[in-house]
Amino acid sequence: MARRKLIPRRAVQTAALALSGASLLALSGCGVAGTGDSNRGRQLFVAKCGSCHVLAEAATTGSQGPDLDAAFAQARAAGMDSDTIAGVVKDQVDNPRPSTTNPNTSMPADLVSGEELDDVATYISGVAGVPGIQPPKAPGGPGGQVFAENGCGGCHTLKAAASSGTTGPDLDKALPGMSTSEIEKSITDPNAKIAPGYPPNVMPQNYDQVIDPQDLKLLVKFLAGSAGKG
């Protein structure tokens, strides 16, 4: 019988603490990582989790919650397997801990559940903390890559980017007729003009800080040239 590799306690504690105290009971691993659909899990993660968490493969840059690559890198290097990581993720989502700095930014309860949680946990368990991992190549050239790497497709539909998010407006309908300056304004100051039927403060307010100015130009050019054109 193969001997199970022991994971140093410090590595396990680092991952658990970074995820706000996920229960160590979940660390036994029981085939959790193989129960979900990783592709669907990626879509769900970008749409529901990416605005708060960094995850390199998903190209998300949220800062309200833990950096998932940093949280699992040490533990993965020390031998933590995918089942264990998936178990930690599921436990933390099922039992979110209040933020110690700002309770208003704590992870909501039941953000995902059931099969959706299995999918998200499976996806994260395969990519979080993997050295050198990069997001997949996106359609649409450099601007399309910026669109993908900032998680835009998780919230917006845009055929040219092969995205079908519904949290925000359908860009194929909303952007045609807008000037490039208006498109840029909608990205950098999204509350300046709210699309009918959508509440304020849904879109992150800091894209003018987190997107490099040159990348922002590429993104605007991509959107202006592709929205509504399939």
46 and 14 inside one domain: yes
pLDDT digits (tens, 9 = 90+) for 119-130: 999 999 999 999
- Asked if pLDDT for residue 203 goes beyond 80, the answer is yes
121 and 154 inside one domain: no
Q: Which of 127, 158, 183 is the last residue of a domain?
A: 127
Assigned domain for 1 exists: no
215 and 107 inside one domain: no
169 and 212 inside one domain: yes
191 and 162 inside one domain: yes
Which CATH number covers residue 181? 1.10.760.10
List strand residue ranges (DSSP E) for the chain, in order: 54-55, 60-61, 157-158, 163-164
Closest residue by Cα to residue 44 from 135, 139, 136, 113: 113
Q: Which of 75, 105, 127 is the last residue of a domain?
A: 127
Assigned domain for 3 exists: no
DSSP state of 183: H
pLDDT digits (tens, 9 = 90+) for 16-72: 545 544 344 344 445 666 788 888 888 788 778 887 889 999 878 777 889 999 999
Q: Which domain holds residue 210?
A: 141-226
Q: What is the mean pLDDT of the segment spanning 206-222?
A: 91
Assigned domain for 91 exists: yes
Question: What are phi and psi for residue 164, nearest 5 degrees?
Answer: -140, 35
Number of domains into which the chain is organized: 2
How many beta carbons lie within 10 A of that of residue 118, not counting itself?
Answer: 21
| 128 Cα distance to chain centroid | 11
Tell me the HSE value of 102 on the side-chain side, using a 13 A CA sphere.
5
The pLDDT > 70 percentage for the chain reads: 81
103 and 186 inside one domain: no
| pLDDT averaged over every residue in the chain | 83
Assigned domain for 87 exists: yes
35 and 122 inside one domain: yes
182 and 115 inside one domain: no
Assigned domain for 162 exists: yes
Closest residue by Cα to residue 114 from 62, 44, 27: 44
Residue 137 burial (10 A CB sphere; 0-12, 13-18, 19+): exposed
Q: Which of 127, 154, 184 is the last residue of a domain?
A: 127
